[in-house]
Structure 1
């Protein structure tokens, strides 16, 4: 159906897209579990934001599990669920980062935030590229 744009042939350091996507899913799962535990701790300490963070991280845990299962079963639709949810989360985070930068004028925060967002966008490209290499089982990007 035409030329695919923003498609990678391999992950960083020459790893396959499948290996890179699996690593992204596993690292995301571990980080989300740690962040959820931290959210629970903050919630127990009386911070309402801790409970909100915990809920967001539980959603991330579920999405990472779907990604890992999608890779294991080579199911394009399951992999694309992660791509779409992560893309929405990145868009929301970009808006929040821009608002925080405008409010605080903190250049160090801005640099770190945009580096992290750049890495997250690269991860989405890797997983999307892997999904496009899979057969027609599921939705298309």
Structure 2
């Protein structure tokens, strides 16, 4: 079991990069990937819902057969459901990236692998050059997106302990700065109190 774990870690390490192809950081790359997928999901939801409503209204007014409406509902209903699932999937990636949560990124990777496997199966069933080319291009981009997210997850896991130490040091520095400010305020109020007392004594004397 330990050997399998080491082999798995070694395999993930080979798929690791330090920066994205555009020169930005891995965190920025993950946010871009999540945003692109989120945009696609919103478009898919809008198109799927709009076409579902449109074709059902038109089909019923023109008296289309029930079988035709069922086929339309299954097709565009699948597009709508896929958009909703992709929206949730993208939200997991964006949230995990912003908060530095490696577990969220791992969850995204698992579902992303499942999606890529289904896409590869669809490639086998494609009956057309354009469909095959577009699917292959999509898979290549998908592999690169996975490598970017996996690299950032490994970076978070490797720097988790250092991040905690830095966070504690930052908190201690902030507390010391707060205590110093409170001390200065107390000294200021004490001095003002002494000054007021001296003025009061002077007024009583004269």
TM-score bracket, shorter-length normalisation: 0.7 to 0.9
Identify the residue that residue 125 of structure 1 maps to in structure 2: 147
Paired residue for 2:19, among 10, 19, 37? 10
Identify the residue that residue 130 of structure 2 maps to in structure 1: 108
Paired residue for 2:44, among 35, 39, 52? 35
Q: Kindly indicate whether structure 1 or structure 2 has the higher relative contact order, using CA contacts under 8 Å at least 6 residues apart.
A: 1
Identify the residue that residue 66 of structure 1 maps to in structure 2: 92
Task: Provide the rounded CA distance (Å) in 2 between the counterparts of 1:64 and 1:108.
Answer: 27
C-alpha RMSD of matched pairs (Å): 1.6
Q: TM-score of the superposition, structure 2-length normalised?
A: 0.61
Indicate the structure (1 or 2) with the bigger Cα radius of gyration. Answer: 2
Number of paired residues? 133
Structure 1 unmatched runs, 5+: none
Q: Tell me how far 1:109 sits from its aligned partner.
A: 2.4
- After superposition, what is the alpha-carbon deviation per residue over 1:22-74, rounded to whole angstroms, capped at 9, x for unaligned? 10001110111101111112222242211111111101101111111101110
Instruction: Report the 3-state secondary structure (helix = DSSP H, G, I; strand = E; otherwise coil) of the residue aligned with 2:112.
Output: helix
Identify the residue that residue 98 of structure 1 maps to in structure 2: 124
Query: Which has more helix, going by share of residues?
Result: 2
Q: Tell me how far 1:8 sits from its aligned partner.
A: 1.4
Partners of 2:20 and 2:29 within 8 A in 1: yes
Task: Provide the rounded CA distance (Å) in 1 between the counterparts of 2:93 and 2:131.
Answer: 30
Structure 2 unmatched runs, 5+: 1-5, 57-71, 161-206
